[in-house]
Structure 1
Amino acid sequence: MTRLFSLLSLFVFTFISIATQAQQRVAYTSVAEAGPDYLVQGEYRGGARLSGILRSSSGLQVVARGEGKFVANLIPGGLAGQGGRLDEVVTLEGATVDGVTTLKSEDFTVTIAGGSATVANQAGKKVGKLRHIVRESVTMGMPAPTEAVVLFDGENTDNLVEAKVTEDGLLMEGVLTKELVKDFRLHLEFRTPFMPNSLGQARGNSGVYIQRRYEVQVLDSFGLEGVHNECGGIYRQKPPELNMAFPPLVWQTYDIQFRAARFNEAGEKTESAQLTVYHNGVAIHTNYELTNKTGAGQPEGPAAMPILLQNHSDPVRFRNVWLVHLDEQQAESAGKLRQR
């Protein structure tokens, strides 16, 4: 009887724990509903004396971890893609108390209030100040050329299968293109939700599945290391050259060029597929030869296949999605151009 009671108690405790965790999993899709932690989270840029005697360009990435807690990266040289020396990052952590966020490392203390971050050294002396910024990709809003197939422009979904659109005109995750693709270039804009209580693959997960075979990961990877299963990674094959992820709820861009694998008449692969990806205007993969399908992708083959914007149960949103089919000569020329 005692053993039965213990087992029942364990079951009830586990059930309550799971229910509590489920209640804590939140996904905000607008700044208006995101709460005060979101106003602290984000990118900061300015000048700080992190070493030596002179102030120099510095960046700060602040990542919300829920309930007023944060981790951060203090980056000499600036932000990712703007001169930041990511191999010299100083990691901090802390929390918000009475409207002021304090983050600490062994050598520095960063105090955030009113959109400004003040950096102090071990002795408490101010050595820098940075301001909150919101970056925009250089390819944001890129118009579709005349030869493009417009997949989504905010209204028309004729070129998509089972597309769902939000009231404010954004494409929801979990949609296939009617277009079957081989060689092409693709532009799309995406926005991950703010999920401060979630971590890793549970935080703003989606993906661009090229030919339903090869996935370029979409994830809220802001402030993370940048590995193969994070934003910009070729899933389970290759990490991005640089983690260019912007904070959640900030629009981002992928500009992708793809050359399909080649097969002979016997169905044997003679050339691997090639992939070039620009994330927020910065090259993160250049003419990478895909070794095989990624993860749960469809098997490789000569047939043209659609593009899937993956549904991983998180409210990732898309807009301004278009592609241009390339003939073999165009695909070859584009690859050679990028190698120069």
Structure 2
Amino acid sequence: MLRNITSLILLLALSSVSFAADKPGVYVDPNNVSDTDFYYQGEFYGPLTLPSGCLEMTGLQVVAQGKGKFSALQYKGGLPGNGWNNGPKLELTGELKDGVILLQHDAYVIAVDPNHAVVTNGAGETLGNLRKVRRKSLTLGHKPPHDAQVLFDGTSTEYFQNGKLTPEGLLKAGTITTFPVTDFQLHLEFRTPFMPEKSSQARGNSGVYIQERYEVQILDSFGKTPEFNDAASLYRTKSPEMNMCFPPLQWQTYDIYFTAARFDDAGNKVADARLTVYQNGIAVQRDVAIPNKTGAGKKEGPEPGPINLQDHNDPVVFRNIWIIEPSTPISFASASCSCL
């Protein structure tokens, strides 16, 4: 049974790191962002008064698009993974002026500051006061089970070819495991940079390339309607069921369950590879059959292959990576996020 395992908590101080951006307009340290827009973007949550007078929980994701411009998605019922039922959502845009972003709607306006989003109607009546929240996956920081192999804990790159660390002990993108994999359960934590003036595939791009054949995309897709090349997509093959991205510079989790393709003695494929992905504790790919390699992946074959944490020239970093390789194929029918 699928469970909602993402918690909603109030805005907290971000964890401390101390390395500088690689290039102008790219921020890797949440405590050292000079772009004011960073402090306005994020998630907001709270009750909204409907025309009927009833209260309804509402979620709002505000996304920095660079130079004071913002886009936003408003969700009926709450945020993705916390109340929103995957129904229609409202797209809004606005600009930062005099310390406030004004998101215009026909029936109301939303005034966003770094901590609140206040909704008022044309008569100036307050319909809602949404508070900024910072959500956290309940699998974040989870310790590996007894049968897991720790691949990276911040102290060594033993299991990664040419693995490079930041001064804070985080693993940089652009490394491959030193061993091949077949069937497995993988936990990893990643953080995308803040790149407000970039868009689409140029915004915090990396990926988990399973067997160097099948890519689970890593991308800053926060506040977007998910597409087949966005975060948690099976790259250019299947979009995620829901966009569970948190804002950039916030730690996120992937919990991946994978069963390799099967081949007969003649090398003919007799069963597709299968994949389940939980992003930040919510199932976004469920027992998906993978018909072929994805994107620039290597050709399918019976031999196992390593996991590539793709280098796409963006400073994505990783921590707390561990793997379980079962002796029998994983049963997706019963797979929930057992890493809790």
TM-score, normalised to structure 2, is: 0.89
Q: Measure, in 2, the Cα distance between the counterparts of 1:85 and 1:303.
A: 41
Cα drift, residue 149 of structure 1: 1.7
Runs of 4+ in 1 over 6 A off after TM superposition: none
Shift of 1:336: 3.5
1:32 maps to 2:51: no
* 2:335 aligned counterpart, secondary structure: helix
Q: Check conservation: 1:25, 1:195, Cα contact below 8 A.
A: no
Contact 1:55–1:128 at 8 Å: present in 2 too? no
Partner of 2:11 in structure 1?
none
Query: What letter is aligned with 1:190?
Result: F
Consecutive unaligned residues of structure 2, counting only runs of 5 or more, are 1-21
Question: Alpha-carbon deviation of 1:169?
Answer: 1.0
Q: Report the equivalent of 2:104.
A: 104
Greater per-residue helix proportion:
1
Q: Return the structure number with greater strand share.
A: 2
Structure 1's unaligned 5+ residue stretches are 1-22
Q: Find 2:334's aligned residue among 334, 337, 340.
A: 337
Call closer, same or farther: CA 1:177–1:128 in 2, change over 3 Å.
same
Q: What are the equivalent positions in structure 2 for 1:186-197 lying under 5 Å apart? A: 186-197=186-197
**What does residue 154 of structure 1 align with?**
154
| Aligned counterpart, 1:286 | 286
- Asked if 1:268 is matched to 2:263, the reply is no
For residue 203 of structure 1, what is the aligned residue in structure 2? 203
Structure 1 CA distance for aligned equivalents of residues 160 and 51 of structure 2: 53
In the TM superposition, what whole-angstrom CA distance separates every residue of 1:143-199 from its partner, at most 9, and x where no partner exists? Answer: 112222211101111111000100011110001001210000000000010000000
Instruction: Measure, in 1, the Cα distance between the counterparts of 2:198 and 2:52.
Output: 38
Tell me the alpha carbon deviations over residues 255-284 of structure 1, each in whole angstroms, 9 at most, x when there is no partner: 001000000000000000010100000001
Q: Displacement, 1:114?
A: 4.6
Q: Equivalents in 2 of 1:299, 1:158: separation in Å?
A: 27
CA contact (8 A) 1:204 1:316 kept: yes
Matches within 5 A, 1:87-236: 87-236=87-236
| Partner Cα distance (1:316, 1:217) in 2 | 12
Kindly indicate whether the alpha-carbon contact (under 8 Å) linking 1:55 and 1:127 is maintained by their aligned counterparts in 2: no
Structure 1 partner of 2:256: 256
Aligned residue type for 2:74: L
User: Aligned with 1:139: secondary structure?
Assistant: coil
Question: 1:185–1:51: structure 2 CA closer, same or farther, 3 Å change rule?
Answer: farther
Looking at structure 2, the residues matched to 267 and 88 of structure 1 have their Cα atoms a distance apart, in angstroms, of 46
1:47 and 2:47 correspond: yes
Q: Is the 8 A contact 2:41 2:114 kept in 1?
A: no
Structure 2: which amino acid aligns with 1:337?
S
RMSD over aligned Cα atoms: 1.6
Alignment match, 1:9: none
Q: CA deviation at 1:326?
A: 1.4
User: Are residues 1:314 and 2:314 paired?
Assistant: yes
Higher-Rg member (1/2): 1
SS in 1 for 2:136: coil
The 8 Å contact of residues 50 and 76 in structure 1, kept in 2 or not, is answered as: no
Aligned mates of 1:51, 1:238 — CA distance in 2: 38
* Range with bigger deviation, 274-283 or 81-90: 81-90
Structure 1 distance, partners of 2:271, 2:324, is 22
1:302 is matched with: 302
What fraction of aligned residue pairs are identical, expressed as a percent? Answer: 46
User: What do the CA deviations read for 1:275-294 (whole angstroms, capped 9, x no partner)?
Assistant: 01000000011111101000
Mark the CA change 1:52 to 1:89 in structure 2 (over 3 Å): closer, same or farther: farther
* 3-state SS, counterpart of residue 136 of structure 1: strand
Is the 2:207–2:309 Cα contact (8 Å) retained in structure 1? yes
- Give the CA deviation at 1:96: 1.3
2:109 maps to a residue whose letter is T
Q: In the alignment, residue 198 of structure 2 is paired with which amino acid?
A: S
What is the distance in 2 between the residues matched to 1:273 and 1:85? 29
Distance 1:89 1:29 in 2: 30
The count of aligned residue pairs is 314
Distance 1:41 1:114 in 2: 7
Counterpart contact for 2:39–2:114, Cα < 8 Å: no
Contact 1:25/1:198 (<8 A) preserved: no
1:313/1:24 CA distance change after superposition, 3 Å: closer
The 1:51/1:225 distance shift into structure 2, 3 A limit, reads: farther
Q: Structure 2 CA distance, aligned partners of 1:90 and 1:115? A: 21
**Code of the aligned partner of 1:31:** P
Moved more, 148-157 or 295-304: 148-157
Contact 1:61 1:73 in 2 (8 A): yes
